[in-house]
Every structure is written in structure tokens, then in C-alpha cells.
Chains A and B, each alone.
Chain A
Amino acid sequence: MKNGLAIFFFVFAILGLSWAGLLLTAHRQLGSLGQYKDPVDETLYPQPLSGVADQGRLVYQDLGCVSCHTQQVRHEGFGADLERKWGQRAGYARDYIRESTVFIGQSRIGPDLRNAGSVELHPYVDADYFYKLLYAPQSVAPGTNMPAYTHLFDVHPLRGRQPSDKALALSGKAAPPAGYEVVPTDRARALVAYLLSLKDAYDYPIERSLNAPAEKPKEGGH
């Protein structure tokens, strides 16, 4: 082939430079980010997930929640994430360093879940809310287009026994037929523990100072 060697080296250089620029440099920067130790309470942030929540992370991955829910909060002036109470601050790279699979998402058919477990932002959130949302989404969020994940729950006949203390207190259309109870399975319990663990409550002082908005925002500028 005419000029085969030149073509080979040219293609090699393009691929090599792209790899170095897009992967190697990014890995060198983000891979060296460590946990931040708060000097006052002497705790490392971000904190690890609890065991059940870590199992729930796998359920979240398995069910494909990431195809409708993102887990990234954009900063002020770039979308209305903070106004929608999806977070108290923008997400930083350091928030994600402990996650082996980052569910950052790319499509927001549902709300952002980065701070889904934050009681400060959503006072109505607790385990019972998430169980009902998963079993019968319309019962707690009327008008939502979220599908029901009924396969995460067992519908038992009571047969005259005492209902389980874990049974959902459902009413209206979502309620099971008389003599039956709806009990979350282990997968549902793990998933809800994961959802409740989702909150970026800690604000890193370095990131906060570096991302503080400028005093005079330029109108229509860059």
C-alpha cells in the first residue's frame, strides 16, 4: 500500500493522543482524589455505604434505575437542580470516589436521586415512602410515570394470622385484597436502604471555596 507506514503512524498518533488526553489525564487527576478528613470531627468523607445499602446499590444497578434517574446535581446557574431540591450544593468529583460503578446517568425521566434520602430536602422521605413508591407509585406520587416494581414485594394470604410488622400500610386502589398483606422482599429492603443512604450532606471546604460563585456574574457572558 502506498504511504502505508505514514497512515499507520498518523492513526496511531491520533489514537494515542486521544487515549492520553481523555483517559490517562483524567485518571491521573480524578484517581488521585482521596477522601477528605474533616479536621474538626476527624471523620473521612465521603463515608462508605452500610452493608445493606451496598447490596441495595446492586439492586439499583440491576433494575436499571439509572436509565431514568441521574445522580448528579448541577451547580447554580446551570439548570434548576438546586431550586428543585435535588441537592443543597452541586455535586463534586470527590462525592463519587468510593463508588465502583457510578450511576451518574444521562436521562432525567424521573427526578435526580443524588440526595433522595436527604430529610432536610424532602421531609416526607422515609422507608415507608419508598416502599409505597416502589410497589404502587401512584399512591404516593399521583401522576408519576414511574413503573410499579411489584416483583420486589410478596403478596401473602394472611389465613387468619397476625399481619407482618413489615407489611405495607396501603389504602385505596393500591391495597391488596382482603386477607392479604404486602411484604417487601430482601431486595426491596436493600434498595430502600440504598435510597435512604443517598445524600451528599457534607460540604467539602476546599471545593466550596473553589466553587463559590463570582461576586459579579457577567450578563450573557461566558
Chain B
Amino acid sequence: MPPRKSPRRAATKMSTTPDKNFRLEQACASDDSIQQVHARLGQQKPDKSSGYPFLPLGILGLMCSAVFFGSIYLAHYSIRFDPLVVNETAKREKPGALVAPKVTPAMLGKRVFTTICAACHQVTGQGVPGVYPPLAGSDWAQGSEERIIRIVLQGLNGPITVSGHDFNNAMASLGGVLKDDQIANVLSYVRQEWGNNAPEVKAETVARIRAEVGNRTAPWTAAELLKIGQ
């Protein structure tokens, strides 16, 4: 909507009525009359525009800088809105990347060991001197996996020399109690705990030996085992 012209202003511009002070057709208006017209126009305030006034530039600038500061702050401290992260200074490879915890067979085998094996071989793996052979530092435990898998599957009976000490006792058969992966895990634990350093035992190896042995239920003897897995 164009600004409404005041009647007075219209009169100053296009007046057809004869005016003593102001006549357009007059060839040259006097300086006085021009001064008067300008003075009259200057007294008039400009018409207000309708609607809301535009924001003052200062406040607009303040708001823009607040939004800018907020964005920078969020970019640095939002930790990408990840509910798992509390430390905004933490180093992160990729946003949202979950680093899966690494679980080794030895870690899983620890439970089996503490519930079953530790009763005789002790939690420390030291065994009981003269009664139960040690596993820590044992040449048998770190030796051929063919032999120790058979020991766990069918048990062991009779004299055996472990790390230079003689033992004569019986170990129960655990092939019916433990599954292949459990045997593999617990043997991996035994082979890598207490300073032992031997490769892990795979569940496939246990399954293969279980199939090879077949229906045998009699416990092994050390002499028998020494012929296997040279």
C-alpha cells in the first residue's frame, strides 16, 4: 500500500488554485517562497510503514554472533551426541564407531579352569607337589596339543614326569563334561597363563582328535601319549 499523501503536501505540489506565495506558472519563484515550502515540508514527519519494524542492526549482529558461538561450542563439545562418550577430549577414530572388545579364547577358558581344573591344579596353576602336577611352566602343557587334548578327553592314569618331577595319580575324563570349544578355550588359557607361552588350541583340532579317538573310554598313560604327537 503506497503511503497516503497528506492534503497539504499535495497542495504544495500540484495546486491549480491561485496562490499568492506559490504559483507554478510563475516563471521564477522567489527564494523566500522556496524556503517557506522547504520549511513546511521539513516539519512533516515521514509516514510510518505498517507492520513490525525491522530489527536494529546491533541486536541482529548480537544474535548472529550468539548462534555462531553456539555452533562452534557444539562442534567442539557435543561429542557428536554419542551416549557412550563422556570425555569430549577423547580421541575418536570414526563417529559412532564401536570398538568391540577383544575376547581371546584364553579369557573364555578362565571360567572353565576355575570351575573344574583349579580344584586339583590350583588357581595359580602350581598344582600340589607330589600329588597334582603343575601347569605353570609345565613341558606337557606347553608341548604337543595332541597329547593334552587326549588327556582332557579321556583322562590320564599312572606315572608321569612333569617338569622333572614324578607324579602317579589319576585324572578324570572330561570329554563328556566339556564341549570342544570349552576344551580348546581352557587349554588355550593354560598354555598362555602364568608365563606359559604356547599357541592357542583350536576347537577344530579338539573335534578332529575326538573323532580319531572314537569310542575309547580308558584313560591314557604317559607312555602311550609320548608315542603320539612327536
**Chain A residues proximal to chain B, CB less than 8 Å:** 25, 29-30, 33, 39-42, 75-78, 90-94, 205-207, 209-215, 217-218, 222
Contact = CB atoms under 8 A, between A and B. Distances in A.
A6 B68 CA distance: 27
B121 interface: no
Contacts of B89: 77, 213-214, 217-218, 222
A222 B90 CA distance: 11
A200 B111 CA distance: 22
Q: Which residue, B82, B99, B107, has most C-beta atoms of chain A within 10 A?
A: B99
A211 B87 contact: yes
Interface of B: 76-77, 81-92, 98-101, 103, 107-108, 110-111
Given A206-B98, A211-B86, A213-B89, 19 more contacts: A39-B101, A40-B107, A40-B108, A40-B110, A41-B111, A76-B87, A78-B87, A93-B83, A94-B84, A205-B99, A207-B85, A209-B101, A210-B82, A211-B84, A211-B90, A213-B87, A213-B90, A213-B91, A217-B89
B111 A90 contact: no
B100 A90 contact: no
Contacts of B107: 39-40
A209 B83 contact: no
A39 B110 CA distance: 12
B76 A93 contact: no
A40 B103 contact: yes
Contacts of A214: 89-91
Contacts of B103: 39-40
A210 B85 contact: yes
Contacts of B82: 210
Given A40-B107, A206-B100, A90 B84 contact: no
A80 to B, nearest CB: 15
Contacts of B90: 210-214
11 contacts: A29-B81, A39-B107, A75-B86, A78-B87, A205-B99, A205-B100, A207-B85, A210-B98, A211-B87, A212-B91, A217-B89
Nearest to B101: A205
A218 B76 CA distance: 13
Contacts of B91: 212-215
Nearest to B109: A40
Nearest to A42: B111
Contacts of B84: 33, 92-94, 206-207, 210-211
B83 A90 contact: no
Contacts of B87: 75-78, 90, 211, 213
A207 B108 CA distance: 21
Nearest to A29: B83
B99 A209 contact: yes
B81 A206 contact: no
Nearest to A97: B83
